[in-house]
Homo-oligomer: A and B are copies of this chain.
Amino acid sequence: MTRGAARPTGEAFDVLPVAVDAMGGDRAPDEIVAGARQVAEDGTIGVLLVGLEGAMGDTGDLPLLHCTEVIGMDDDAGQGVRRKKDSSLVRAAEAVRDGKAMAMVSAGNTGATMASALLRMGRLPGVIRPAIATPIPDLKKEHPTVMLDAGANAEATVPMLLQFAQMGAAYSTERYGVARPRVALLSIGEEKSKGTSLVKEAHAVLAKGGHGNFDFVGNVEGRDFFEDQADVIVTDGFTGNVALKTLEGTLRFLMSTLTEILGRPEVADAAGTLLPHLIPLATKLDPESTGGAMLLGVDGVCVISHGSSTSVAMVNAITVAHDVAVRGLVADIASSVRPPAGA
């Protein structure tokens, strides 16, 4: 039984606000509060702002949940959550646990956000470890590819990878409407003989099929992220984090180099002509536009936004958090996770 069993359901749930950590992120509280206010002013999504009294700037008409502590970006995650029980992160997670919010969103310390959600909301029944699912834009298809685990667990086991496949598939269906997601394993060659023993064993288990509402399509490689090979890419949190940061770092490097070139005075006219063609590309690839990563496997919706989130990123993150919460993502995840077929 989940701790959430006593929470509001149906219409009572749908009118709950999204708890937003006003203190988390490189641009907190200003950009966070600005994004939260913008969402609330649109009228359909409620926001509960969690933060230090008097330190959140102009919060307008937003309902507030005051706390007395903040877990910093560089604080140790576990210690932060254990010691700072009245921090904005812990209080936001408790609001979800206690049925006072439908979801939580933070752009703060990723480890502490994870720890708060895990310790306060708890794991869903049967889930070995929660995983961070990150959307990666793939221009060759309509929706982003979901990669998990992007860093919640540095090490994984075969049963964990199987559950990541199940949770990732449920998420792809719920968030992007992919009826039967293609699930792939991240490896170093297409053949089932390629990879670590972990990957080879996971491949064998997944290839048996019958694990849920998805199709296992085998291995993909690091070069396949933009090649419409899969809807869900499964890997351990170490490899996933390295791959995600390599991908983001490479995009950022090329985009900034390109921006420098386009800023040269001698190409000003050409740059003016090209900008309308380049901006849609930059927008699609911008992590700000994807709505943030999500911690799957906990008993509640927890969106982890980029540390550099602006108000635009917060609007997207809060909207995504609301939408998947209302659609029943947590219940779907709970029912998708099963023990391995042969176990």
Contact = CB atoms under 8 A, between A and B. Distances in A.
Interface of A: 139, 151, 154-155, 186-188, 194-197, 199, 221-227, 235, 237-239, 241-255, 257-258, 261-262, 264, 267, 269-271, 273-274, 277-278, 281
Contacts of A195: 154, 238
B242 A188 contact: yes
Contacts of A262: 274
Contact of A238 (B188, B237, B248, B258): B188
A203 to B, nearest CB: 13
Nearest to A195: B154
Contact of A226 (B139, B199, B243, B253): B253
Given A221-B245, A243-B246, 11 more contacts: A154-B196, A188-B237, A188-B238, A221-B241, A221-B242, A222-B242, A222-B249, A243-B243, A267-B273, A269-B270, A270-B274
Contact of A246 (B199, B237, B246, B257): B246
29 contacts: A139-B257, A151-B188, A154-B195, A154-B196, A186-B242, A187-B238, A187-B242, A199-B238, A221-B245, A222-B244, A222-B247, A222-B248, A222-B249, A225-B250, A225-B253, A226-B249, A226-B250, A227-B249, A235-B242, A242-B242, A250-B250, A254-B254, A254-B255, A257-B281, A261-B274, A261-B278, A262-B274, A270-B274, A274-B274
Contacts of A257: 139, 281
Contacts of A196: 154-155, 238
A151 B222 CA distance: 12
A196 B153 CA distance: 9
A255 B110 CA distance: 32
A261 B277 contact: yes
A213 to B, nearest CB: 27
Given A225-B250, A239-B242, A277 B273 contact: no
A224 B251 contact: no
B222 A245 contact: yes
Nearest to A241: B188
B281 A277 contact: no
A33 B258 CA distance: 36
Contacts of A246: 222-223, 225, 243, 246-247, 250
A26 B249 CA distance: 30
Task: List 8 tightest A-B contacts by C-beta distance, closest first.
Answer: A222-B245, A223-B249, A222-B246, A270-B270, A270-B273, A226-B253, A250-B250, A188-B241
Contacts of A223: 245-246, 248-249, 252
B261 A281 contact: yes
A269 B270 CA distance: 7
Highest count of chain B CB atoms <10 Å: which of A194, A223, A244: A223
Contacts of A188: 151, 154, 237-238, 241-242, 245
Contacts of A253: 225-226
